[in-house]
């Protein structure tokens, strides 16, 4: 306990000016409500026209539920909703963590090589998967592409981490530059494989790149969910470390932050969440940049609420985008990546333009 | 209790920066490190704060090797005001100062009171809610000083004196605030804490320092009281220009470069 011997000019307990945590707390509550609302809407809306409230009312009243209704809700809409929540929260938190680590509001997990590696993995899975021995194919089944994407993402990240870490110290600047070089090499390799793809594989590749939650299933949730959940649980422990890093690595170390540990955990957290998200939903862009940025405008850059609120808002945003994607041209589906890019692109441009003063310095 | 450097040698890349520097800074005194640009002052500071590991020699804080102290423990014994701080996100002043409380075990009420008291001490009461990036350079430097102050608020802790390391603490300040910050540092030392400051202003050094280390080319050229170290010969030689130390009855020691004209 610390006693302060300086005079106090205000009664104790009075809120300190410039402390925006109460705003973050209130916003957190609102975002929980928003997510609940969006989740209910998402369960209730779909191409089949099954009404979730009616089914719920039937179930509560003890009436028989039609088997088709049950399948639509429990095996189609619910896993899809959960996937949307996991992927949206995972992408948004990874974005916020990366921005804190790189000290740049436009950073994203793509800088870790995860996205490029995952893309190479998915492309290899789609194009070269057929050449694998039958035994392996029957073992992996439909999960070959997600598994290859996840493996590719992690391999790229570990390679980059190894390259930029010398004598137990990771250089964020080296990581940024080496990431560009690595992404170029991975891109070339991906291009080479794409060159040999046939027409139907090309179509699969294109749709994978646009992202979709259409493949959501309980199996995928069980595989990717724990990884994303672990990342979401780890993220709040990074908050104070990332706040300190905003002052620079030296100043962060001076106040007692174990900088290398924060960097390593941040990278692992972002890679786990992004790798798993990309594996089960393909390439969904902009959530990781738009959501944290929007929240920073509202509550400031303090990571103690930023990370939690990013998870909540990211989940809501993706579930909403998914609702649009599966209803706007029903019964067909628009890839969700198109919708996030349609909203995210102009937003990103606005962020750039409104930060021009800082960027031009 | 003291901060000691024993034959510190440091290389950055291949370039040798420090060639065996010795220093003994006592708690309760304000120790100034002076010397021309590139003489190794800041590098010495970075070794003494534990930021850089020397490749030979030893740095001790209150008798214990700095390299072997846990970051949280070290953070409770010494705070550092860096030469410059770039900030990447729009934090408020209160949020910046709060970062200094990272390693402190204290309740929310104490934290708020400490932040307010530190901001008042550096002459920025009522600035808690301002955005850091909207402040002037001098105000930003004082916010950083407040952040360092809350970290080691009590000059004497449970296990010995606490230390303030200030790297050019007055570089962006007007003369009134230069004096205010130096008085604050002096007061910290008078209350039992240790202060080690890299200084460029020799007049302020002469006014406030109890102990001076003069550096040149990565070596300690002289160490001792201001009267011993700040002589015409040593200063002129170290800085490579003619300097004259005047003793005036009212101001005490005063330094002027040869040929300086104040009027006309």
* Domains of chain A, residue spans: 67-354
**pLDDT for the residue A14:** 65
- B99: which chain A residues are within 8 Å (Cβ-Cβ)? 240, 243-244, 246-247, 255
Gap from A6 CA to chain B (nearest CA, Å): 6
- Residue B58: inside a domain, yes or no? yes
Interface check B42 vs A, CB under 8 A:
no
Nearest to A255 among B92, B102, B120 (CB): B102
Query: Could you give the CA distance from residue A294 to residue A308 in angstroms, rounded to a whole number?
Result: 14
Gap from B96 CA to chain A (nearest CA, Å): 8
Query: Could you give the CA distance from residue A244 to residue A302 in angstroms, rounded to a whole number?
Result: 10
CB–CB of A257 and B154 under 8 A?
no
List, as ranges, residues 159-218 from B with C-beta within 8 Å of A.
Answer: none
User: Into how many domains does chain B fold?
Assistant: 1
Among B12, B73, B113, B132, the strongest candidate for a mutation testing the A interface, having the largest count of A CBs within 10 A, is B113
Higher-pLDDT residue of A332 and A231 is: A231
**pLDDT for the residue A214:** 80
Assign B260 a pLDDT band (cuts: 50, 70, 90).
low
DSSP A275: H
With a cut of 60, say whether residue A120 has pLDDT above it: yes
Query: Could you give the CA distance from residue A272 to residue A119 in angstroms, rounded to a whole number?
Result: 15
CB–CB of A19 and B105 under 8 A?
no
**pLDDT for the residue B142:** 94
Mean pLDDT of chain B: 90
**pLDDT for the residue B76:** 93
**pLDDT for the residue A144:** 77
Q: How far is CA B218 from CA B18, B22, B43, B58, B240, in A?
A: 4, 11, 9, 16, 15
CB–CB of B51 and A250 under 8 A?
yes
Spatial neighbors of A260 by CB under 8 A, at least 6 apart, are A168, A169, A170
List, as ranges, residues 104-133 from B with C-beta within 8 Å of A.
Answer: 104-107, 109-110, 112-117, 120-121, 125-126, 128-130
For residue range A67-87, list pLDDT tens digits in order.
888 888 888 889 999 999 999
CB–CB of B74 and A302 under 8 A?
no
CATH number at residue B233: 3.40.50.300
What mean pLDDT do residues B50-66 have? Answer: 92
- B152: which chain A residues are within 8 Å (Cβ-Cβ)? none
CB–CB of B80 and A254 under 8 A?
yes
- A105: which chain B residues are within 8 Å (Cβ-Cβ)? 88-89
Higher-pLDDT residue of A127 and B71 is: B71
- Residue B262: inside a domain, yes or no? no
**Which token pair is B130?**
């301002």
**pLDDT for the residue A279:** 83
Nearest to A255 among B75, B95, B126 (CB): B75
Interface check B154 vs A, CB under 8 A:
yes
Using DSSP bridges, classify how beta strands B194-198 and B156-157 pair: parallel, antiparallel or unpaired: unpaired
Mean pLDDT of chain A: 84
For residue range B202-228, list pLDDT tens digits in order.
999 999 999 999 999 999 999 999 989
**pLDDT for the residue B94:** 94
With a cut of 80, say whether residue A39 has pLDDT above it: yes
Task: Give this prediction's pTM.
Answer: 0.87
Nearest to A2 among B91, B104, B126 (CB): B104
**pLDDT for the residue B241:** 87
With a cut of 80, say whether residue A36 has pLDDT above it: yes
Q: Which domain holds residue B67?
A: 2-257
Sheet of strand B30-34, all strands in order from the earlier edge strand to the far edge: B78-81, B163-167, B194-198, B30-34, B211-216, B219-224
Query: Could you give the CA distance from residue A156 to residue A168 in angstroms, rounded to a whole number?
Result: 19
With a cut of 60, say whether residue A1 has pLDDT above it: no
With a cut of 90, say whether residue B67 has pLDDT above it: no
Assign A30 a pLDDT band (cuts: 50, 70, 90).
very high
Nearest to B119 by CA among A22, A16, A240: A16
With a cut of 70, say whether residue B41 has pLDDT above it: yes
DSSP A6: S
Sign of the Cα torsion B189, B194, B196, B197 reads negative
- B92: which chain A residues are within 8 Å (Cβ-Cβ)? 18-20, 300
CB–CB of B95 and A250 under 8 A?
no
Higher-pLDDT residue of B56 and A46 is: B56
With a cut of 60, say whether residue A316 has pLDDT above it: yes
- Residue B97: inside a domain, yes or no? yes
Query: Could you give the CA distance from residue A324 to residue A317 in angstroms, rounded to a whole number?
Result: 11
Query: Could you give the CA distance from residue B56 to residue B43 in angstroms, rounded to a whole number?
Result: 14
**pLDDT for the residue A142:** 63
What is the secondary structure of chain B as a DSSP string? -EEEEEEEEEEETTEEEEEEEEEEEETTSEEEEE-STTSSHHHHHHHHTTSS--SEEEEEETTEEGGGS-HHHHHHHEEEE-S----SS--BHHHHHHHTTTT----HHHHHHHHHHHHHHTT-TT-TTSBGGGS-HHHHHHHHHHHHHHHT-SSEETTEE-EEEEESTTTT--HHHHHHHHHHHHHHHHTT-EEEEE---HHHHHHH-SEEEEEETTEEEEEE-HHHH--HHHHHHHHTS-EEEEEETTTEEEEEETT-----
**pLDDT for the residue B259:** 55
Query: Could you give the CA distance from residue A248 to residue A246 in angstroms, rounded to a whole number?
Result: 5
- Residue B263: inside a domain, yes or no? no
Q: What ipTM was assigned to the predicted interfaces of this complex?
A: 0.89
Q: What angle do CA A82, A83, A88 make, to 5 degrees?
A: 105
What mean pLDDT do residues B172-192 have? Answer: 94
Percent of chain B with pLDDT over 90: 74
With a cut of 80, say whether residue A357 has pLDDT above it: no
Interface check B84 vs A, CB under 8 A:
no
Among B67, B71, B133, the strongest candidate for a mutation testing the A interface, having the largest count of A CBs within 10 A, is B71
**pLDDT for the residue A286:** 82
CB–CB of B74 and A256 under 8 A?
yes
Gap from A226 CA to chain B (nearest CA, Å): 30
For residue range B82-138, list pLDDT tens digits in order.
988 788 888 999 999 999 999 888 888 899 999 999 999 999 998 999 999 889 999
Spatial neighbors of A105 by CB under 8 A, at least 6 apart, are A99, A289, A292, A293, A296, A351, A355, B88, B89
With a cut of 70, say whether residue B252 has pLDDT above it: no
Query: Chain B residue closest to A21 (CA)?
Result: B95
Interface check B82 vs A, CB under 8 A:
yes
What mean pLDDT do residues A151-168 have? Answer: 88
Higher-pLDDT residue of B170 and A127 is: B170
**Which token pair is B147?**
């952040």
With a cut of 60, say whether residue B262 has pLDDT above it: no
> Other CB atoms closer than 10 Å to residue A320's CB: what's the count?
18
**pLDDT for the residue B264:** 42
CATH class for the region spanning A67-354: mainly alpha
With a cut of 60, say whether residue A7 has pLDDT above it: no
For residue range A233-288, list pLDDT tens digits in order.
999 999 999 999 999 999 999 999 999 999 999 998 998 898 888 888 887 878 88
Assign A10 a pLDDT band (cuts: 50, 70, 90).
very low
């Amino acid at each position: 306990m610390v006693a302060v011997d300086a005079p106090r000019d205000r009664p104790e307990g009075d809120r300190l000016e410039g402390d925006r945590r109460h705003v973050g707390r209130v916003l957190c509550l609102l975002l929980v409500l928003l997510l609940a609302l969006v989740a209910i809407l998402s369960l209730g809306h779909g191409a089949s026209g099954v009404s979730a409230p009616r089914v719920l009312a039937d179930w509560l009243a003890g009436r028989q539920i039609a088997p088709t209704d049950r399948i639509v809700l429990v095996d189609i809409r619910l896993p899809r909703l959960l996937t949307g929540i996991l992927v949206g929260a995972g992408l948004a938190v990874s974005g916020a963590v990366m921005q804190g680590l790189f000290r740049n509001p436009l950073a994203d997990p793509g800088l870790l090589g995860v996205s490029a590696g995952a893309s190479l993995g998915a492309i290899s899975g789609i194009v070269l998967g057929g050449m694998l021995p039958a035994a392996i194919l029957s073992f992996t089944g439909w999960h070959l592409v997600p598994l290859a994407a996840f493996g590719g993402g992690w391999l790229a990240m570990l390679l980059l981490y190894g390259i930029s870490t010398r004598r137990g110290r990771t250089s964020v600047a080296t990581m940024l530059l080496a990431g560009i070089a690595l992404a170029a090499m991975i891109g070339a390799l991906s291009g080479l494989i794409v060159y040999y793809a046939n027409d139907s594989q090309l179509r699969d590749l294109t749709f994978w790149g646009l992202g979709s939650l259409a493949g959501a299933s309980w199996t995928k949730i069980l595989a990717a969910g724990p990884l994303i959940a672990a990342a979401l649980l780890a993220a709040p422990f990074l908050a104070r470390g990332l706040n300190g890093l905003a002052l620079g690595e030296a100043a962060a170390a001076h106040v007692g932050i174990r900088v290398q540990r924060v960097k390593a955990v941040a990278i692992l957290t972002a890679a786990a969440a992004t790798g798993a998200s990309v594996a089960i939903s393909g390439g969904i862009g902009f959530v990781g940049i738009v959501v944290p940025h929007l929240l920073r405008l509202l509550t400031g850059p303090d990571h103690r609420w930023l990370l939690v609120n990013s998870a909540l808002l990211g989940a809501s945003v993706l579930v909403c985008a998914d609702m649009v994607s599966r209803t706007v041209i029903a019964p067909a589906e628009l890839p969700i990546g198109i919708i996030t890019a349609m909203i995210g692109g102009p937003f990103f441009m606005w962020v750039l333009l409104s930060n021009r003063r800082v960027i031009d310095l | 209790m003291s901060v000691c450097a024993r034959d510190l040698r440091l290389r950055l890349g291949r370039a040798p920066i420090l060639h065996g520097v010795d220093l003994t800074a006592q708690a309760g005194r304000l120790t100034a490190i002076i010397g021309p640009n590139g003489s190794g002052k800041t590098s010495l500071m970075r070794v003494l704060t534990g930021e850089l590991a020397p490749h030979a020699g030893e740095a001790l804080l209150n008798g214990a090797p700095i390299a072997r102290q846990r970051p949280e423990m070290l953070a409770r014994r010494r705070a550092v005001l860096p030469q410059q701080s770039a900030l990447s996100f729009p934090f408020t002043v209160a949020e910046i100062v709060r970062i200094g409380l990272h390693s402190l075990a204290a309740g929310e009420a104490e934290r708020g009171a400490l932040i307010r008291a530190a901001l008042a001490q550096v002459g920025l009461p009522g600035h808690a809610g301002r955005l850091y990036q909207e402040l002037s350079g001098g105000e930003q430097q004082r916010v950083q000083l407040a952040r360092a102050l809350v970290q080691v608020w009590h000059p004497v802790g449970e296990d010995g004196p606490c230390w303030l390391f200030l790297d050019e603490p007055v570089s962006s300040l007007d003369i009134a605030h230069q004096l205010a910050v130096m008085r604050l540092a002096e007061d910290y030392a008078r209350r039992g804490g240790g202060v080690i400051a890299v200084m460029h202003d020799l007049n302020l050094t002469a006014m406030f320092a109890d102990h001076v280390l003069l550096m040149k080319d990565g070596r300690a050229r002289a160490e001792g009281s201001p009267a011993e170290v700040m002589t015409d010969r040593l200063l002129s030689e170290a800085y490579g220009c003619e300097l004259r130390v005047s003793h005036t009855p009212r101001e005490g020691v005063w330094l002027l470069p040869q040929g300086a004209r104040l009027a006309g």
